[in-house]
Chain A
């Protein structure tokens, strides 16, 4: 059966009957061919073929060729940690008991302290779990946005926008962007354009701040590498600064990674760099030039510092790709050269020079 054109007369001003849930489902069904297969035998996908979500298409699924064996290492560690926890609780219990034996007051104080510590530990654990989830949430959102953009899928785009608005609902620096987004919520806009609009209205102002974070961190790294006396201090310092930058970036874009979340993010950044590193040939040339070339001739320490600074900027760029809820559209994507100038120029207030992309 093909649907014939129909007209409905409208008497009053509010003609619409809200569609039932079932009716809503049929609305998205694709066009029916006349009498090909009896309707009750037909199973129709809810989406058109070409707009079917390609979730998981971004990374190849690992084939399950490895047969499952007993993971002795995991058993060892969980058993060992359980023992450790038992030992710790026993020790604390004993301590409290001893204190009670000695004096009622001390005992109660110890109990109080112990439960406070327990509560704090619980909160920390919960926060870490939330942190890991929030890192994951951003990456699924990113995936969804990419699907909406590539397939020009209106429905997915609307879902992405709703999620974004939830993430940024309590940010007062984004009030204007959120209002702009809400303003054209009901307009007829393609999925691709809707994502681009969200990117422009919400994320572009954040990109500016992100650029400043990256630039100031890499400048700090450059300077401090140049002045620290021992190489081991360098490494510690660079690592700490980079972790701090990752965390700042994630928070800026609406993620709330805890310590473990930040480490997870660092892992993701490392693998991202490993994948994209091959493409950044030109960056290496720049590093050669700055590190071993001109600057290196002037001062070996300073050359090293510049290399570390560039490395930090590259880590920052990779982190941008991972923490931003919508992947950069091609014309907005910043590259290393946007930061280079800032790394080697130490004018006061050069933060403002960062390209606001």
Chain B
């Protein structure tokens, strides 16, 4: 155990003691929402909050279905130093600004941590709940990019270890082609020579380009640490992000003033100033976690993307503090006691295939799941659509019946020879998902599947004197029951 582990542990414990004390009087639940970029985090949170506030159709969310939830509303969040999740703005983007919703679109991806507090008033059941806090639960939703989780393993890696590992992965297909520019430049650098800032900047920018190209739709790779290189925010250009792996001799020491020493120092600064504060202040205090996975885009891109997603999710899971909470452990070291893996955008697929989608997701997170189960954390896999953009239909085509979905495909989507303009409605048959999920990894699915992105659905305006309809969804209620249901005591 390193000293930093010890001090981190102490700081987390102090934070948790504070949480425990305030939970006694006004209970709160910290729900972490994460996923790699474009997995649908923003839409998920928006739809969850909207359905809670607007009394959505949630038959499987028991407290709601039994009529025990009196009302839900947004409140100022507890952490003043975090940006607020821009719920109203995202909702407006999704539903469009006018009545017909002609300019509705999916929200821009968020690139930073944000928080939103929903307070739910409900009819309490227990003695304690009735008399002490009177049936009020604060749900603090913490939204953070999954890429940041990929940084957490860096806490335990030295610069040399990280450098070697990153160089090794960059030689594997399909990364080798994308990394060519950066690697050839790295070969020319001499780590033991005195540092030159221009070299460092060039290496870092080539490295960033390589990471960015890996993320393109065509390849859809996921395992790309360090995460801030792709979403720098206001750190862009700072020395914290101006480092790159170097080709190092085994067991070489960094002479002071050398390029190696500079890179090492910046790497350590990155870990200390970016990774560790996130871990201690936010991540280690979560109660529940939902990991959103966009299996559709990966399936579109092919087996390499699926394989990479699998690696990334295993890495992510390695960092979770899972396990059953006991009273003592919840005071000192909070652990995530329930994790839900959700394959999002299930509305791109007929519900007959949802089982198979869940099977594929189960295979992708296999390693992660095994870990979660041995630590005693509750664990579930579900195919959901936080905002359902399609309807289902069965069409007859060349003598066979096809389970199709209809909706308005996003502009620029292509299937076969058809290109969509974003206004025409179409029925899409995306192909059969394999019965054996292993087929998704071994490449036998080539060209048999294609999922199309749809535009958000038109939300009908409220009828006079009636409450506004909540956003339509698939299995959002099931996810809510799993993540929140047991806290309404």
Contact = CB atoms under 8 A, between A and B. Distances in A.
Main secondary structure of the interface of B (DSSP, over half): mixed
A16 interface: yes
A8 B395 contact: yes
B394 A16 contact: yes
Nearest to B59: A184
Given A5-B429, A17-B395, A187 B59 contact: yes
Nearest to B382: A190
Interface in A164-199: 180, 183-184, 187-190, 193, 196-197
A20 B447 CA distance: 29
Contacts of A5: 415-416, 428-431, 448-450
A26 interface: yes
B109 interface: no
Contacts of A27: 352, 394, 400-403
Contacts of B426: 7-10
A184 B478 CA distance: 13
Given A15-B393, A15-B406, A24 B428 contact: no
A98 interface: no
Contact of B429 (A2, A6, A24, A183): A6
Contacts of A152: 355
Interface in B430-473: 430-435, 447-450, 452
Nearest to A1: B400
A200 interface: yes
A31 interface: yes
Contacts of B395: 8, 15-17, 19
B99 interface: no
A347 interface: no
B416 A7 contact: yes
Contact of B431 (A4, A15, A20, A187): A4
Interface string B414-430: 01101010001111111
Given A15-B393, A17-B395, A26 B429 contact: no
Interface in B334-371: 351-352, 354-355
B394 A193 contact: no
Contacts of A189: 59-60, 475
A196 B420 CA distance: 41
B74 interface: no
Nearest to B394: A19
Contact of A188 (B62, B416, B424, B474): B474
Contacts of A183: 57, 59
B65 interface: yes
A3 B428 CA distance: 12
A341 B475 CA distance: 40
Contact of A6 (B352, B415, B424): B415
Contacts of A271: none
A300 to B, nearest CB: 39
B80 interface: no
Nearest to A32: B432
Contacts, number: 118
B342 to A, nearest CB: 14
Interface in A1-49: 2-10, 15-17, 19-20, 23-24, 26-28, 30-32, 48
A198 to B, nearest CB: 11
A326 to B, nearest CB: 16
Contacts of B425: 10, 15
A158 to B, nearest CB: 12
Contacts of A8: 395, 397, 404, 426-429
A330 to B, nearest CB: 15
Contact of A187 (B57, B402, B430, B432): B57
B144 to A, nearest CB: 29
Nearest to B451: A5
Interface residues of A, number: 36
Nearest to B415: A7
B450 A15 contact: no
B396 interface: yes
A188 B475 contact: yes
Interface string B371-409: 000000000000000000000011111011111101001
Nearest to B384: A188
A239 to B, nearest CB: 40
A15 B478 contact: no
A92 B434 CA distance: 73
B424 to A, nearest CB: 6
Contacts of A7: 409, 415-416, 418, 420, 426-429, 452
Contacts of B355: 152
Given A2-B448, A200-B65, A31 B433 contact: yes
B414 to A, nearest CB: 9
A24 B396 CA distance: 9
Given A10-B424, A184-B59, A17 B448 contact: no
A27 B428 CA distance: 15
A187 B354 CA distance: 14
A250 B481 CA distance: 32
A9 B395 CA distance: 12
Contacts of A196: 60
B208 to A, nearest CB: 34
A300 B409 CA distance: 80
B416 A197 contact: no
A197 B59 contact: yes
B48 to A, nearest CB: 17
A26 B448 contact: no
A341 B429 CA distance: 60
A197 B57 CA distance: 13
A190 B381 CA distance: 13
B448 A3 contact: yes
Contacts of B394: 16, 19, 23-24, 27
Contacts of B420: 7
Given A5-B416, A7-B427, A16 B393 contact: yes
A180 B62 CA distance: 13
Contacts of B416: 4-7
Given A9-B426, A30-B435, A188-B475, A23 B400 contact: yes
A8 B409 CA distance: 11
A28 to B, nearest CB: 8
Nearest to A191: B355
Contacts of B427: 7-8, 10, 15
13 contacts: A2-B448, A3-B448, A4-B448, A5-B431, A5-B450, A7-B420, A8-B427, A16-B394, A23-B399, A26-B401, A187-B57, A187-B59, A200-B65
**Lowest 7 A-B CB distances belong to which pairs?**
A23-B401, A5-B450, A8-B427, A10-B425, A31-B432, A27-B401, A7-B415
Interface of B: 57, 59-60, 62, 65, 351-352, 354-355, 393-397, 399-404, 406, 409, 415-416, 418, 420, 424-435, 447-450, 452, 474-475, 478
Given A188-B475, A189-B60, 14 more contacts: A3-B402, A3-B432, A4-B447, A6-B428, A7-B429, A8-B397, A8-B404, A16-B393, A27-B352, A28-B352, A184-B57, A184-B59, A187-B59, A196-B60
